[in-house]
Amino acid sequence: MVVYGRKRLRYMRKSELALGAFLIMLVCGASIFILHSTRRDQAIAANADIYKQLDLFGEVLERVRSEYVERPDDTKLIENAINGMLQGLDPHSSYLTPKEFQDMQVQTRGEFGGLGIEVTMEDGVVKVIAPIDNTPADRAGVLAGDYITHLDGDSIQGLSLNEAVEKMRGPVDSPIMLTIIRKGVAAPMQTKVVRDIIRINPVKYSAEDDVGWIKIKTFQSEHTYEYMKQAVEDLKKTIGPKLKGYVVDLRNNPGGLLDQAIAVSDAFLDKGAIVLTKGRNAAESSRANAKPGDITEGKPVVVLINGGSASASEIVAGALQDHKRANVIGTRSFGKGSVQTMIPLGANGGLRLTTARYYTPAGRSIQATGISPDYMVEPELPPEMKAQMTAFAPKGEASLRGHLKNDSAPEATGSVSYVPKEKEKDVQLKAAIELLHGKKPETAKKLENAAAPATPAVPVPN
d(CA 309, CA 338): 14
Among the listed residues 146, 336, 365, 372, the single catalytic one is 336
- Whether 307 is in a domain gets the answer yes
Q: Are 202 and 110 in contact (CB under 8 A)?
A: yes
Phi-psi region of 256 (alpha: psi -120 to 50; beta: other; left: phi over 0): left
Same domain, 369 and 439: yes
Residue at a domain's end among 137, 166, 199: 199
Structural domain contains residue 101: no
* In contact, 355 and 279? CB cutoff 8 Å: yes
Provide the domain count of the chain: 3
Q: Is 340 in the same domain as 327?
A: yes
Q: What is the pLDDT of residues 123-181, one digit of tens each?
A: 889 999 888 888 999 999 999 999 999 999 999 998 888 889 989 999 999 999 999 99
Residue 431 belongs to some domain of the structure: yes
Instruction: Write the burial class of residue 42 (CB in 10 Å: 0-12 exposed, 13-18 middle, 19+ buried).
Output: exposed
298-320 pLDDT tens trace: 999 999 999 999 999 999 999 99
Instruction: Say which of 322, 333, 415, 430 is annotated catalytic.
Output: 322
- d(CA 55, CA 446) in angstroms, rounded, equals 59
Is the domain of 336 the same as that of 370? yes
Output b/e per residue, 189-213; b: 16+ Cβ within 10 A: eebebebbebbbbbbebeebeebbb
Q: How many CB atoms are closer than 10 A to CB 414? A: 25
Expressed as residue numbers, the domain containing 189 is: 112-199
Are residues 414 and 394 in contact, defined by beta-carbon separation less than 8 angstroms? Answer: yes
Look at residue 420 in the predicted model and tell me its pLDDT.
93
Q: Which residues pair with 346 in a beta bridge?
A: none
Q: How long a stretch of residues is the chain? A: 462
pTM: 0.80
Q: Where among 151, 173, 199 does a domain terminate?
A: 199
Q: Which of 198-202, 281-285, 290-294, 367-371 has the lowest mean pLDDT?
A: 281-285
Tell me the C-alpha distance between 371 and 415, whole Å: 11
> Looking at the domain assignment, is residue 89 inside a domain?
no
What pairing do the DSSP bridges indicate for beta strands 175-181 and 147-151? antiparallel
Residue 25 is predicted with a pLDDT of: 45
Whether 399 sits among the annotated catalytic residues: the reply is no
* pLDDT above 90: percentage of residues in the chain: 65
- The answer to whether residues 317 and 442 belong to one domain is yes
- Single out the catalytic residue among 311, 313, 365, 415: 311
Domain match, 231 and 151 both: no
CATH number of the domain enclosing 387:
3.90.226.10
Q: Quick one: pLDDT band at residue 31, thresholds 50, 70, 90?
A: very low
pLDDT band, residue 393 (cuts 50/70/90) = low
What is the SS3 string spanning 129-183? EEECCCCHHHHCCCCCCCEEEEECCEECCCCCHHHHHHHHCCCCCCEEEEEEECC
Same domain, 251 and 350: yes
**pLDDT, tens digit, for every residue of 38-92?**
555 555 666 778 878 888 999 999 999 999 999 999 999 999 999 999 989 999 9
Asked whether residue 192 is domain-assigned, the answer is yes
Q: What angle do CA 397, 403, 405 make, to 5 degrees?
A: 100
Whole-angstrom CA distances from 68 to 65, 78, 283 are: 6, 15, 44
Q: Are residues 176 and 66 in the same domain?
A: no
In the annotation, is 336 catalytic?
A: yes
Residue 10 binned pLDDT confidence (cut-offs 50, 70, 90): very low
Beta pairing partners, 190: 179
What CA–CA distance (Å, rounded) separates 8 from 16?
12
CB 362 within 8 Å of CB 461: no
Of 175, 199, 223, at which residue does a domain stop?
199
**Does the structure show a pLDDT above 70 at 19?**
no
Q: How far apart are CA 94 and CA 88, in angstroms?
A: 10
Give the integer Cα–Cα distance in Å for 171 and 112: 8
Give the pLDDT confidence of 318-351 residue by residue, as tens digits. 999 999 999 999 999 999 999 999 999 999 999 9
Check whether residue 117 and residue 59 sit in a common domain. Answer: no
* Burial (CB count <10 Å: 0-12, 13-18, 19+), residue 10: exposed
The phi, psi pair for 344, rounded to 5°, reads -65, 140
Residue 108, number of CB atoms within 10 A of its CB:
16
- H/E stretch holding 249 reads strand 245-249
Let me know whether 219 and 290 are in one domain.
Answer: yes
For residues 354 and 89, the answer to whether their CB atoms sit within 8 Å is yes
The reply to whether 311 belongs to the active site is: yes
- What whole-number distance in Å separates Cα of residue 84 and Cα of residue 53? 15
194 and 271 both lie in a single domain:
no
Residue 98 lies in a domain: no
Q: State the average pLDDT over residues 192-208.
A: 93
418 & 316 share domain = yes
Can you give the CATH number for the domain in which 182 is found?
A: 2.30.42.10
Average pLDDT, the chain: 86
**What's the CA dihedral at 73, 75, 80, 82 to 10 degrees?**
160
- DSSP one-letter code for 61: H
Half-sphere exposure of 90 (CA within 13 A, CB side): 20
In a domain, 460, yes or no: no
Among 51-65, 381-395, 419-433, the least confident range: 381-395
| β strands within 62-107, DSSP E | 94-96
β-strand partners of 338 = 357
pLDDT of 460 reads: 42
The CA–CA distances, whole Å, from 89 to 257, 281, 284, 312, 404 equal 21, 17, 18, 21, 9
Residue 131 sits in the same domain as residue 227: no
Residue 88 within any structural domain of the chain: no
